[in-house]
């Protein structure tokens, strides 16, 4: 829990930081909502008070931020767009990297950082978490209960924003109602929430089904130097490529996790060992420590993701590996990053392989997540400051051409991409599928007819 310095107390609302840059009419409007005691209102740019965006690239801008402590205040937030022309953006752990679907300037940040509850129910194999909970917040409680959950490779990513699935969700709708959506309650909305939920409501908490511990330890392998398709269900691989002159220029790092013994994993990782990596490390760790030892322990348990740095990210999904296309891209990527070694020093290219057996076991219409056959996700993360200058134009041209080439040889008849990997300029059918769009738009009309939730992966642009 962060500590706050109270500067002014008016009507039981705590104002932190200077509001000199916010208009008096906005302050009056927020006061008129009769928000709950303990609610913080201030400038969103104050990192000691409010959650900051991971990426500053085309990020929304705010004139004020509201950090509520109760669900009643969140209900009141539904009045913000009606009483003031400023837009509002619900924000918890802001690892989102893609620009808003619609321009969001001079907005109001609704900071959900106080909603950080974690509860594990071993009897029902359930995990209930608040909107601000990150992956690193649950691995300890789950590991202690000998339970596990599919997790991301980055520990400080917010879980609900990255997954938005599970067994049920508690929401505040655009109308200000607090409801539950699940397979038995508001089931049609629940279908849409799992795949396009950012279009319908503010999520307060979500409940997930967790699983008994697969093995007492998992094998964590790290190699610094391709693998075959359809990887085993117990294996996950993340390949990243970057440029570092201290490491001799362009390098490849592979992070592998196998949920089982090293003996079982050996036949899958042996080709990587035989490739003679410059550095390698194989270690057996409890499931709860997987992220803590990732990437040569670059991100410890207390690691905090940096914020407010520019990340221009493009993504593409493939079912088939066209080796010449990958080879050509890698050569062009290495040339680009070495030519602008200083300007692009934080740039990384990822190939992520996750087993898809469980995804394919789910019925096609079970959720609005449309895709089931993605073999690998490709993510191009360009980090540079000259986002509006000549280098920015060069990066956009390079990324769009690479994305197009990979999509052409991806093995899909039409491009397919999970929304969390998109840049923001893709066609809606690429993210949601032609089959799901009519139903999703119908839900939008019913649950958010005024299009309040229109800034993240928007169905209506």
Q: What is the pLDDT of residues 179-188, one digit of tens each?
A: 999 999 999 9
Return the CATH number at 85: 3.30.43
The answer to whether residue 45 scores a pLDDT higher than 70 is: no
Q: Does 257 share its domain with 322?
A: yes
Q: Does 40 share its domain with 73?
A: yes
Q: What pLDDT does 170 receive?
A: 92
Do the domain assignments include residue 458? no
The answer to whether residue 25 scores a pLDDT higher than 70 is: no
Do the domain assignments include residue 286? yes
Q: What pLDDT does 123 receive?
A: 93
- Expressed as residue numbers, the domain containing 156 is 118-213
Q: Does 25 share its domain with 42?
A: yes
Do the domain assignments include residue 260? yes
Q: Does 36 share its domain with 182?
A: no
Return the CATH number at 314: 3.40.462.20
Please tell me whether the overall predicted TM-score, pTM, comes out greater than 0.75 for this model: yes
Do the domain assignments include residue 383? yes
Q: Does 252 share its domain with 209?
A: no
Q: Does 175 share its domain with 204?
A: yes
Q: What pLDDT does 11 receive?
A: 31
Q: Does 231 share its domain with 374?
A: yes
At residue 254 the predicted structure's pLDDT band, cuts being 50, 70 and 90, is confident
Choose one of 86, 111, 136: the last residue of a domain.
111
Q: What pLDDT does 208 receive?
A: 92
Q: Does 228 share its domain with 97?
A: no
Q: Does 269 share its domain with 351?
A: yes
Do the domain assignments include residue 239? yes
Q: Does 265 share its domain with 194?
A: no
- The 3-class secondary structure across the chain, one letter per residue, is CCCCCCCEEECCEEECCCCCCCCHHHHHHHHCCCCCCCCEEECCCCCCCCCCCCECCCCCCEEEEEECCCHHHHHHHHHHHHHCCCCEEEECCCCCCCCCCCCCCCEEEEECCCCCCEEEECCCCEEEEECCCEHHHHHHHHHHCCEECCCCCCCCCEHHHHHCCCCEEEEEECCCCEEEEECCCCHHHHHHHHHHHHHCEEEEEEEEECEECCCCCEEEEEEECCCCCCCCCCEEEEEEEEEEHHHCEEEEEEEEEECCCHHHHHHHHHHHHHCCCCEEEEEEECHHHCCCCHHHHCCCCCCCCCCCECCEEEEEEECCCCHHHHHHHHHHHHHHHHHCCCCCCCCEEEEEECCCHHHHHCCCCCCCCCCCCCCEEEEEEECCCCCCCHHHHHHHHHHHHHHHHHHHCCCCCCCCCCHHHCCCCCCHHHHHCCCCHHHHHHHHHHHCCCCCCCCCCCCCC
Q: What pLDDT does 91 receive?
A: 52
Q: What pLDDT does 281 receive?
A: 81
Q: Does 88 share its domain with 203?
A: no
At residue 230 the predicted structure's pLDDT band, cuts being 50, 70 and 90, is low
Return the CATH number at 160: 3.30.465.10
What proportion of the chain, given as a percentage, has pLDDT over 90?
30
Q: Does 295 share its domain with 182?
A: no
At residue 9 the predicted structure's pLDDT band, cuts being 50, 70 and 90, is very low
Q: What pLDDT does 4 receive?
A: 24
Q: What pLDDT does 27 receive?
A: 61
Q: What pLDDT does 226 receive?
A: 37
At residue 52 the predicted structure's pLDDT band, cuts being 50, 70 and 90, is low
Q: What pLDDT does 222 receive?
A: 56
Q: Higher model confidence: residue 68 or residue 336? A: 336
Highest mean pLDDT among 214-218, 236-240, 418-422: 418-422
Domains of the chain: total: 3
Do the domain assignments include residue 453? no
């Amino acid at each position: 829990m962060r500590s706050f310095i109270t500067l002014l107390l008016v009507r039981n609302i705590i104002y932190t930081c200077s509001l000199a840059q916010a208009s008096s009419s906005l302050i009056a409007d927020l006061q008129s909502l009769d928000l709950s005691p303990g609610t913080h209102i201030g400038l969103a740019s104050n990192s000691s008070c409010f959650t900051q965006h991971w990426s500053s690239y085309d990020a929304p801008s705010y004139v004020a931020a509201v950090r509520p402590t109760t669900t009643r205040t969140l209900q009141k937030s539904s009045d913000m767009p009606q009483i003031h022309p400023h837009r509002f953006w619900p924000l918890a752990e802001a690892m989102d990297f893609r620009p808003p679907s619609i321009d969001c300037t001079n907005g109001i940040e609704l900071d959900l950082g106080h909603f950080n509850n974690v509860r594990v129910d071993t009897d029902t194999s359930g995990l209930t978490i608040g909107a601000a909970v990150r992956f690193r917040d649950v691995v300890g409680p789950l590991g202690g209960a000998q339970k596990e959950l599919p997790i991301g490779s980055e520990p400080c990513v917010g879980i609900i924003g990255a997954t938005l699935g599970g067994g049920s969700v508690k929401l505040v709708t655009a109308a200000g109602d607090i409801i539950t959506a699940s397979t038995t309650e508001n089931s049609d909305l629940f279908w849409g929430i799992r795949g396009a939920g950012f279009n319908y409501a503010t999520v307060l908490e979500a409940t997930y089904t967790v699983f008994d511990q697969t093995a007492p330890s998992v094998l964590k392998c790290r190699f610094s130097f391709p693998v075959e398709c359809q990887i085993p269900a117990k294996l996950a691989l993340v390949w990243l490529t970057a440029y570092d002159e201290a490491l001799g220029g362009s390098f490849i790092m592979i992070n592998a996790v196998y949920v089982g013994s090293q003996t079982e994993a050996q036949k899958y990782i042996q080709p990587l060992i035989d490739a003679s990596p410059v550095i390698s490390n194989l270690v057996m760790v409890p499931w709860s420590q997987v992220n803590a030892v990732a990437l040569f322990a670059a991100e410890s348990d207390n690691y905090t993701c940096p914020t407010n740095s520019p990340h221009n990210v493009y993504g593409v999904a493939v079912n088939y590996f066209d080796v010449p296309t990958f080879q050509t891209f890698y050569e062009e990527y290495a040339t680009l990053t070495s030519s602008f070694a200083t300007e692009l020093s934080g740039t990384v290219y990822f190939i992520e392989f996750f087993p898809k057996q469980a995804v394919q076991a789910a019925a096609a219409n079970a959720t609005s997540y449309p895709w089931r056959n993605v073999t690998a996700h490709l993510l191009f993360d360009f980090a540079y400051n000259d986002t509006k200058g000549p280098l920015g134009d060069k990066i956009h041209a390079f990324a769009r051409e690479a994305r197009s080439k990979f999509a052409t040889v991806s093995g899909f008849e039409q491009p397919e991409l999970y929304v969390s990997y998109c840049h923001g300029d893709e066609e809606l059918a690429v993210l949601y599928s032609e089959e799901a769009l009519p139903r999703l738009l119908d839900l939008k009309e019913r649950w958010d007819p005024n299009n309040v939730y229109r800034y993240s992966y928007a169905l209506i642009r």
